Chains A and B, each alone.
Chain A
Amino acid sequence: LAKTTQPISMDSYEGQEVNITCSHNNIATNDYITWYQQFPSQGPRFIIQGYKTKVTNEVASLFIPADRKSSTLSLPRVSLSDTAVYYCLVGDYNAGNMLTFGGGTRLMVKP
């Protein structure tokens, strides 16, 4: 299973763009990269998933370089409500494999 490494915490201000990078050096060929957001006392919420290059949806963008050994979650113009823990997970979901959580990144958005 690919192990992920993220910064423990990050601070930002409202309206700024936030980029959170995750390292996954031993990612396997069939592995996808998925990011989740978790608020206290809630289950993780799916943000975005990708395999390579760039993926964008209504809430975030995911940048994946060609070697796929890292990925960057980009949150445009964050607000106070984006304060949460963000997890990067890597796995072969098509095989129904479970997800192993790393420590996540605790994002604090300040006014």
Chain B
Amino acid sequence: GAVVSQHPSWVICKSGTSVKIECRSLDFQATTMFWYRQFPKQSLMLMATSNEGSKATYEQGVEKDKFLINHASLTLSTLTVTSAHPEDSSFYICSASWDRGLGNTIYFGEGSWLTVV
């Protein structure tokens, strides 16, 4: 099946620094990718929709200047958490839409744990 890969799987960074998470679609081209965050024992919360070649669309309450999203190619989207703070520590998950000819299906990456110390 389709594979969406994230890197790194986990990262620890110091407060005030920035960290980048990559999301790649390995088997297909993804015009649209999505970024979620998930706190322990909670559901996934959509942060933004990443569109190849254009600006991302952010959900209400998500700071676009803090969570920078770049979708420079059809197989790569990146999420950069800028000036990270401990409250940004979370599980970040990306997903991508793939048209298998039977309608689009959304596939998710493995997720990336971010810990800000």
Binding site for B on A (CB under 8 A): 32, 34, 36, 41-46, 49, 51, 87, 89, 91, 93-94, 96, 98-104
Contact = CB atoms under 8 A, between A and B. Distances in A.
Interface of B: 1, 4, 6, 31-32, 34, 36, 43-46, 49, 91, 93-95, 97, 99, 103-111, 113
Main SS of the interface on chain A?
loop
B44 A98 contact: no
Contacts, number: 63
A45 B108 contact: yes
B76 to A, nearest CB: 17
B75 to A, nearest CB: 16
A96 B93 contact: no
B103 A41 contact: no
Nearest to B45: A101
B107 A41 contact: no
Given A45-B108, A93-B106, A101 B43 contact: yes
A43 B99 CA distance: 20
